[in-house]
A and B are shown apart, each in its own frame.
Chain A
């Protein structure tokens, strides 16, 4: 008898130490169905899928998967090979591709007899080509993966799963790295595959695409399944309430008239080691009391621009002025002194020193001040008072101000950085992906603080890949593509998306 259900997760639970990642989650998936798994960061979506794929061993619960005939059988847990054999394919958020191998070699990796003396790839190649034709997932097969674009890499990842005859495909935040257009193509491809009988689980936190492309939505919060709803009965309000547990607060924004120019980039060029890290004749002015949003797909020069403004890279030509004063020396110290506050992209790596205490990290950019040191010695009492005050004001939670900073959660580390930056009352705030990886609460805190700074008269350059965030916060949007700046024609997503993809200039 053919069973319509192809996968059933049964009361899966997983703890990491004292942290509950998943608690008794039960989900069924039907043949040809596209199921969205929705939840905030840290809600347990990825953990759940990693248990399905055998990367993690669940503490309790079971998984049943249909075989080729459609009969459900229990899956041996904790073995990726068992999951592969059962027809489960997973496309991770961070691609699991060897960049030094060609696309076809990545697809075949692990499917051949390891100890064969030579490889016969003709049948394999035919099969891959056949899949590409059926699904529309095209990628150059003989190119080294390191040279492929992000979209192509993702297609190789999916081809990898399909080549192994996956009947269930799990996509972990597939659109995080794509332009809106690429994402649309991807979903069109997925739709074709689903009609062909493939079952798809796709993990996301973007409500829009979930509503547009899935058949059913399951919502996770704090590791538990809090709701399941057919997409046709859902709308953004219902789902976001399920995700967060309450309506998300939106920050009020007032109309302000902009002030004098604070940051001016004049014909700024950087010749980086690769095209991805080069800037081409950048001209940009950010005025006081305004937030300028810089959109673009990552790897188009945003990081390099942020590095120049932080003083980590010197421009090859052109100049940078702050308050009409040209920057002479591109060092972090001189730009800090000129009034640049920096919220770095990789907060764990560039934003804090993990092994130092919260109090020390809060003071680290103001070591010159006599509040912090006297004659070259740190004033510990002041340091402590300062930290106590700021922890309270910015709601930094953790094991205490004397604890190592690396023990703090991502959201609290970001609050620490916000406290450090905003207390210095900078003229210009460079916020590079400030809400990446944060939950809704912490992200709205960041937005609130940026709007406050704007109110105070600071200039803000907000770099983000999240278009929704930019549309909510920025007064003006500019787009970076291939190291060049383009002015957004308006607030139309589709238009901005096309420019991000480099199709309109």
Chain B
């Protein structure tokens, strides 16, 4: 049975985790924003900006971690614009977010073209290499799946734990959850609604940008136009699938990664009979189905999309 062979192979699961990594960053970023009550549709553009900024920094001579830092900073910058527009000014989160996506995408392409006007094949950088952890990577199955990923995958997994810890174990997390449920509660206790929400958007956007940076600095080694390819939008759906919980966010990203890895492999098996577009479509359709099943029970942050103004109740 070929399908079973696919599902049992080490390479398949390693690929699933690899494909899931940018989504983990993205879905965590979206989760951080939305849990505070603000939708950030700038995610697609922030992915592009992160991919561009990280790669460009390394190409200009920064080391890989410096590139990541620069990518996060770029994401934070676009997040700050979104935060100012949607939090103290209270503008439509949809309009502002889509504007950020267009703006950030265009700025990235523009910067790329300005820096490299005549190049047809983009210059390559030396990306993150798979970490070969002695002993552990020799474990049969798990060794290949887990311990041959790059440092960025480990960073993503660490962030899942960190975000979970912050939201469930720290006073800051309590405040961030409260501000997405009832900003008046936060205000009445003397905390700053604006501060918490803007901080969350900036941090979430930085996290999204890391997802973009993974594309140019780990999955590939160069920047291409259109390389984000809807991954940001997938994260917006996944965060609903995850019901705004970090653990489920990881699960959702892995599920999508598995769908995607599976369709590539299935394509080579039965590609002769079925048009390739069907396979490309499959992960998205399966995501929609999963969403339909799960989203009805999702616990939306009550204040999501509702602007809050000081002195108005």
> Which chain A residues have a beta carbon within 8 Å of chain B's beta carbons?
50, 53, 55-57, 80-81, 84-85, 90, 92, 94, 96-101, 105-106, 108-119, 160
A220 to B: closest C-beta gap in Å = 19
Per CB-CB distance, the 6 closest pairs between chain A and chain B, nearest first, are A110-B189, A98-B178, A81-B190, A112-B171, A96-B188, A98-B181
Q: Is the Cβ of A111 less than 8 Å from the Cβ of B311?
A: no
When the two chains form the complex, which single residue of B170, B171, B175, B182 contacts A99, counting CB atoms closer than 8 Å?
B182
CA distance A97 to B303 in the complex (A): 12
Nearest B residue to A160, CB-CB: B189
Q: CA of A112 to CA of B181 in the docked complex: distance in angstroms?
A: 19
Task: Contact check, A117 vs B188: say whether CB atoms are below 8 A apart.
Answer: no
Pair B177/A100 contact, Cβ less than 8 Å: yes
CA gap between A160 and B185 in the complex, in Å: 11
CB–CB B182/A98 < 8 A? yes
The answer to whether B182 touches A114, judged by C-beta atoms less than 8 angstroms apart, is no
For B294-313 the 0/1 string (1 means CB < 8 A from A) is 00000101100000000101
Contact of B186 among A50, A110, A115, A119 (CB under 8 A): A110
B9 on the A face (CB < 8 A):
no
Q: Which residue of B lies closest to A119 (CB)?
A: B171
Also in contact, A113 and B178, with CB within 8 A (given A55-B313, A84-B189, A94-B313): no
CB contacts under 8 Å to A, within B170-184, are 170-172, 174-175, 177-178, 180-182, 184
Quote the shortest CB–CB distance from B76 to chain A (angstroms).
18
A169: min CB distance to chain B, Å = 13
Residues 30-66 of chain B: 1 if any A CB is under 8 Å from the residue's CB, otherwise 0?
0000000000000000000000000000000000000
- The answer to whether A99 and B302 touch (CB under 8 A), given A109-B175, A119-B171, is yes
Q: Tell me the residues in window 185-200 of chain B with beta carbons closer than 8 Å to chain A beta carbons.
A: 185-191
Interface residue from A94, A109, A119 paired with B178 (Cβ < 8 Å): A109
Chain A residues positioned under 8 Å from B187 (CB to CB): 55, 80, 96
B177 touches A98 (CB 8 A): yes
Query: Chain B interface residue count: which class?
Result: 20 to 34
Ordered by A's residue number, 7 sampled pairs between the chains whose C-beta atoms are within 8 Å are A80-B187, A96-B188, A96-B189, A105-B178, A109-B175, A110-B186, A113-B171
Separation of A83 and B271 alpha carbons in the complex (Å): 70
Report the separation of the CA atoms of residues A386 and B194 in the bound assembly, to the nearest whole angstrom: 48
A56 x B311 contact (CB < 8 A): yes
| Chain B residues whose C-beta falls within 8 Å of the C-beta of A116 in the assembled complex | 170-172
Which residues in B have their C-beta under 8 angstroms from that of A114?
Answer: 171-172, 175, 191
- Cα-based distance from A85 to B189 in the complex (angstroms): 10
Q: Give the distance to chain B from A303, nearest Cβ to Cβ, in Å.
A: 19
A90 contacts across to B, CB distance below 8 A:
188
Which residue of chain B has the shortest Cβ distance to A109 in the bound complex? B189
Q: Are A117 and B170 in contact (CB under 8 A)?
A: yes
Contact: A109 with B185, CB < 8 Å?
yes
Known: A50-B313, A97-B182; 5 extra A-B contacts, CB below 8 A, are A53-B188, A80-B189, A110-B186, A115-B171, A118-B169
Please state if A110 and B170 are interface contacts (CB–CB under 8 Å): no
Q: What residue of chain A has the Cβ atom nearest to residue B196's Cβ?
A: A114
Q: Mark B156-167, 1 if CB is under 8 A from A, else 0.
A: 000000000000
In this complex, what residue of A is CB-closest to B35? A100
Given contacts A100-B181, A100-B302, A109-B178, contact A80 B171 (CB under 8 A): no
Residues of A within 8 A of B174 (CB): 101, 105, 108-109
Q: Is the CB of B185 within 8 A of A106?
A: yes
* Minimal beta-carbon separation of A103 from chain B (angstroms): 12
Question: Which A residues are in CB contact (< 8 Å) with B299?
Answer: 100
Give the secondary structure class of B's interface: helix
B177 x A111 contact (CB < 8 A): no
Chain B minimum-CB-distance residue to A84: B190
List residues of chain A with CB within 8 A of the CB of B311. 50, 55-57
Q: Is A110 touching B175 in the complex (CB atoms < 8 A)?
A: yes
Given that A55-B311, A57-B311 are contacting pairs, would A96 and B184 also be in contact in the complex, using a CB cutoff of 8 Å? yes
Known: A98-B182, A114-B171, A119-B171. A109 touches B313 (CB 8 A): no
Give which listed residue, B170, B185, B190, contacts A97 with CB less than 8 A: B185
Contacts of A55 in B (CB 8 A): 187, 311, 313
Mask: chain B, 220-245; 1 = CB below 8 Å from A; 0 = not: 00000000000000000000000000
Q: Which residues of B contact A84 (CB under 8 A)?
A: 189-190
* Cα–Cα distance between A90 and B174 once the two chains are bound (Å): 21
Does B182 lie within 8 Å of A96, measured CB to CB?
A: yes
B44 CB to closest chain A CB, in angstroms? 28
List of A residues within 8 angstroms of B190 by Cβ = 80-81, 84-85, 110
Contacts of A96 in B (CB 8 A): 182, 184-185, 187-189
**Nearest CB on B from A391, distance (A):** 31
Q: Kindly state the separation between the CA atoms of A95 and B167 in the bound complex, as whole angstroms.
A: 23
Assembly CA distance A110 to B175 (angstroms): 7
Cβ–Cβ < 8 Å partners of B189 in chain A: 80, 84, 96, 109-111, 160
For A92, what are the chain B residues with a Cβ–Cβ distance below 8 Å? 184, 188, 313
Tell me whether B184 and A118 are in contact (CB under 8 A). Answer: no
In the assembled complex, which residues on chain A have CB atoms less than 8 Å from the CB atom of B180? Answer: 100
- Chain B residues with CB under 8 A of A56: 311
Decide: B186 and A109 in contact? CB cutoff 8 A: yes
- Determine how close the nearest CB of chain A comes to the CB of B161; give it in whole angstroms: 13
A356 to B313, CA, bound (A): 25
Write the nearest CB–CB distance from A47 to chain B, whole angstroms: 11
Q: Cβ of B172: which chain A residues have Cβ within 8 Å of it?
A: 114-116
What separation, in Å, do the CA atoms of A115 and B166 have in the docked complex? 10
A80 CA / B302 CA spacing, docked (Å): 23
What is the distance, in angstroms, from A166's C-beta to the closest C-beta of chain B?
12
Q: Give chain B nearest CB distance to A50 CB in angstroms.
A: 8
- In the docked arrangement, what's the CA distance between A112 and B186, Å? 13
Q: How far is the CA of A279 from the CA of B172 in the complex (A)?
A: 42
In the complex, residue of chain A having the shortest beta-carbon distance to the beta carbon of B188: A96
A94 to nearest B CB, angstroms?
7
User: Shortest beta-carbon distance, A327 to chain B, in Å?
Assistant: 30
| Distance of A149 Cα from B103 Cα, bound (Å) | 47
Residues of A near B184 (CB, < 8 A) are 92, 94, 96
Which residues of the partner chain B approach A119 to less than 8 Å between Cβ atoms?
169-171
Q: Write out the residue numbers on chain A whose beta carbons fall within 8 Å of the beta carbon of B313.
A: 50, 55, 92, 94
Instruction: Give the complex CA separation of A98 and B191 in angstroms.
Output: 13
Contacts of B186 in A (CB 8 A): 98, 109-110
Cβ of B189 to closest chain A Cβ, rounded Å: 3
Smallest CB separation, B32 vs chain A (Å): 15
Report B-chain residues with C-beta under 8 Å of the C-beta of A50.
Answer: 311, 313
**B158 to chain A: closest CB distance in Å?**
15
Distance (whole angstroms) from the CB of B303 to the closest CB of chain A: 9
Give, as a whole number of angstroms, the nearest-CB distance from A116 to chain B: 6
Q: How far is the CA of A481 from the CA of B188 in the complex (A)?
A: 33
Task: Report A-chain residues with C-beta under 8 Å of the C-beta of B175.
Answer: 109-110, 114
Smallest Cβ-Cβ distance to B179: which chain A residue: A98
Q: Which residue of A lies closest to B312 (CB)?
A: A55
Highest count of chain A CB atoms <10 Å: which of B171, B180, B181:
B171
Are the CB atoms of B188 and A101 closer together than 8 Å? no
What is the CA–CA distance of A111 and B177 in the complex, to the nearest angstrom? Answer: 15
**Given A56-B311, A101-B174, A109-B175, is A80 in contact with B188 using a C-beta cutoff of 8 Å?**
yes
A108 to B174, CA, bound (A): 9
How far in angstroms is the closest Cβ of chain A from B95? Answer: 20
A483–B171 CA distance with the chains assembled, in angstroms: 39
